[in-house]
Amino acid sequence: MSNSKIIIIGAGPGGYVAGIRAAQLEADVTIIEENQIGGTCLNRGCIPTKSLLASTEALLLVRRASELGIEVGEATPNFSRMMERKNRIVSGLRGGVDYLLKANKIKVIKGKANFLDSHKIHIGTDAGAQKLEGEKIIIASGSKPGTLPFIDFDHSAVLTSEEALELKKIPKSLLIIGAGVIGCEFSSIFNPLGTKITMVEMMDQILPTEDKRIAQAMQQILQKREISIFTKTKLEKIIEYREDGITARFDNGEEVIVEKILISVGREANTEGLGLENLSLKVSKEGNIIVNEKMETNLEGIYAIGDVVGGYLLAHVAFEEGIVAAENALGIDSKIDYTSVPNCIFTSPQIGTVGLTLDKAKEEEIEAKLTRFPFAASGKAQAAGEKDGFLQLVVEENSGRILGGQIIGSHAADLIHEIALAIRWGLTTEQVASTIHAHPTLSEAIMEAAKKAEGKPIHLK
């Protein structure tokens, strides 16, 4: 039996970052990865979807080129080339992570990890079984797409987000079950390609975890693009599975016939087969591993990070959790801070949110107000032809402290970080309003919203 000071299960965003940080602290690190380095984010999530979205956004831009004074011929998507580009980007980035692990002298074993006890791991590999013992273990096994028990996932018409990224041709019609982040992003990929899309969401709004004003604005945009949306509606059953598609019935009596159905009802912690039954590890009723602010589980020497702990299922959160876990495993007192986590939704237009919504602030009995600036009033947005959407700040009434922010509009995923920084360091609207912002830029909208909160609006009445 070989020995390793730090064993990490999973080479996704949390796992490989934890490994690099541990190696920087001069630990002997071994990472066990069952599938591909980079995890879901790099291989089957964040990166491939953004690659395809870049293609469809370019398609939309070409189609409205005449608005910008440019005459072009008809723009036609080449789906196979889009997918080839996506695969090339993923492969290149995966190679980059592999290089970083090797440069940091981190050993990677491809295989399935299974706990024998709190320090010993059985690894099933193609070359046979082996055992590994470590002083500290970090579980970073990620998550998998959620399923519905009455759906035949073996049928070719039924997709999860992972199968949707491997399609060979553009579906003529697509039923999306779940209008959360994943569902809305895929609608933004396939709608410009000509797919007729129907979305079904059981909650009373699309993007159920987002501010209702943002969700309403996005729903209006999607409906203008002729996407059919049913809220407060459930998929009741699949009436018929056919070679060319399915017929589905909703609980409101509606029936649809589509070529493909995408199930995007969230994600589940990937703990199956890890041997957690051999440990007295505490898990939630949802199956997530319970940790504290140091990413420690209830068992000394065992940590968990990323999607497997639930909460924020975001790669950038897993990055930070990986650093915190590695540092604590090696004797550095480190704690995670979730107060200013930016959440980005890569729809068209983008959505960026951070901190509290106005409704959440009220739930917490905080006296707060909302201040908004529309991109239609932005010189840069008008010049770029990207005036849809708005930016809003949630501000504490008495102190003027910025508690949250929500953006829907062009480059929202980039703009949100100024608000995140303001929340992280307790900045007020007066401080942001008095900071000179370059003109013309989209980021001026943050300053303008702050000035409005101070009762000193310049480009708004």
Architecture per CATH, domain 2-145+268-329, reads as: 3-Layer(bba) Sandwich (3.50)
- First-to-last C-alpha distance (Å) of the chain: 73
Q: Residue 1 above 90 pLDDT?
A: no
Using the Cα atoms of residue 186, residue 192, residue 193 and residue 194 in order, give the sign of their dihedral: positive
Distance CA(35)–CA(452), nearest Å, equals 51
Tens of pLDDT, residue by residue over 364-415, are: 999 999 999 999 999 999 999 999 999 999 999 999 999 999 999 999 999 9
Fold equal for 2-145+268-329 and 343-453:
no
Architecture per CATH, domain 343-453, reads as: 2-Layer Sandwich (3.30)
Work out the pLDDT band at 4, boundaries 50, 70, 90. Answer: low
Domain topology for 158-265:
FAD/NAD(P)-binding domain (3.50.50)
Contact 3, 119 (CB under 8 A): no
Q: What pLDDT does residue 365 have? A: 96
Both tokens of residue 233? Answer: 């509606």
Q: What pLDDT does residue 461 have? A: 74
Pairing relationship of beta strands 173-177 and 343-345 according to DSSP bridges: unpaired
Q: Residue 172 above 70 pLDDT?
A: yes
**Residue range 435-461: average pLDDT?**
94
Both tokens of residue 385? Answer: 């032809």
Tens of pLDDT, residue by residue over 333-377, are: 999 999 999 999 999 999 999 999 999 999 999 999 999 999 999
Q: What pLDDT does residue 127 have? A: 85
Distance CA(260)–CA(249), nearest Å, equals 14
Residues assigned a catalytic role: 439
Tens of pLDDT, residue by residue over 216-271, are: 999 999 999 999 999 999 999 999 999 999 999 999 999 999 999 999 999 999 99
Work out the pLDDT band at 76, boundaries 50, 70, 90. Answer: very high
Token pair 């919504």: residue: 357
Distance CA(270)–CA(309), nearest Å, equals 10
Q: Where are the beta strands (DSSP E) in 72-212?
A: 107-110, 112-115, 120-125, 128-139, 143-145, 158-159, 173-177, 196-201
pTM of the model: 0.94
Per domain, the residue ranges of the chain are 2-145+268-329, 158-265, 343-453
Q: What pLDDT does residue 459 have? A: 87
How much is the mean pLDDT over the chain? 95
- The separation between CA 250 and the C-alpha centre of its own chain, rounded to angstroms, equals 27
Beta-carbon-side half-sphere exposure of residue 299 (alpha carbons within 13 Å): 20
Weakest-pLDDT range from 118-132, 203-217, 260-274, 290-304: 118-132
Q: What pLDDT does residue 2 have? A: 45
Pairing relationship of beta strands 368-374 and 173-177 according to DSSP bridges: unpaired
H helical segments located in 64-180: 79-103, 161-164
Contact 55, 82 (CB under 8 A): yes
Contact 280, 298 (CB under 8 A): yes
